[in-house]
Amino acid sequence: MAQVRIKYLNVYSAITGKREEILETTGSVVLLELLNEVFGRYGSKLKDVVMTAEDQLNPHIWMLVNRERVTDLTKEIRNGDVVVFSFPVCGG
């Protein structure tokens, strides 16, 4: 059994009511499978923010896996990985 830490920043925390949680998976999964598990828990409101109508990551969304931005939904997620839902950080 694999454990993946999910962190929800910004609006994602408001939608889920959580800052983070641990999901247990049966072995390795790809990012899309993990996202579908999360969407199943929190409903279409979260999915509508994260995904496009074509079931691709919204370009305004940053999915980070172990501090690296990921756009490939087939990225393998393994035991101990940290997945973060975020928006791009801008400053000035």
Q: Which two tokens stand for residue 8?
A: 């929800």
Domain extent, residue 65, equals 2-86
Label residues 8-42 b or e (16+ Cβ within 10 Å = b).
beeebeebbeeeeeebebeeebebbebbeebbeee
Question: What pLDDT sits at residue 56?
Answer: 94
Confidence at 86, pLDDT banded by 50, 70, 90: very high
Is the predicted pLDDT of residue 92 greater than 60, yes or no? no
How confident is the model over 19-30, as a mean pLDDT? 91
Q: How many domains does the chain have?
A: 1
30: CATH: 3.10.20.30
Residues 6 or more apart whose Cβ sits within 8 Å of residue 8: 15, 16, 18, 19, 20, 85
Examine residue 23 and state whether it is found in any structural domain, yes or no: yes
